[in-house]
Amino acid sequence: MMIIDRIDEYCREHGLSARGFEILCGLSNGQVWTWRKGISPTLTTLRKIEDATGVPVSDWIGGGHGHRETDQSADGSQRTRSA
């Protein structure tokens, strides 16, 4: 599974559009689209995604297969993390 597939899965599970995911992670508009075209995100970008979602970089790039749990953050939103 490629990172874009994992992002699509995350978005489906959390009711986000690609733009919503970009906003959540502090990414520029259209960033997800560039990954669909085959350009890989940088490690810095992956760390921003990890910080925003609570999902480790290793899970995004395919190395991690940890169990995921959902936490409720202080603002009431839910975040997925690996256990």
pLDDT of residue 80: 54
> Residue 80 corresponds to which tokens in the numbers above?
């997925």
pLDDT of residue 50: 97
pLDDT of residue 1: 76
pLDDT tens digits, the chain, 83 residues: what are they? Answer: 789 999 999 999 999 999 999 999 999 999 999 999 989 999 999 999 999 999 999 999 886 544 444 444 455 555 555 44
pLDDT of residue 78: 57
Question: What is the three-state SS of 3-52?
Answer: HHHHHHHHHHHHCCCHHHHHHHHCCCCCHHHHHHCCCCCCHHHHHHHHHH
Domain range summary for the chain, segments of one domain joined by +: 3-82
pTM of the model: 0.72
CATH 1.10.3470 matches 3-82? no
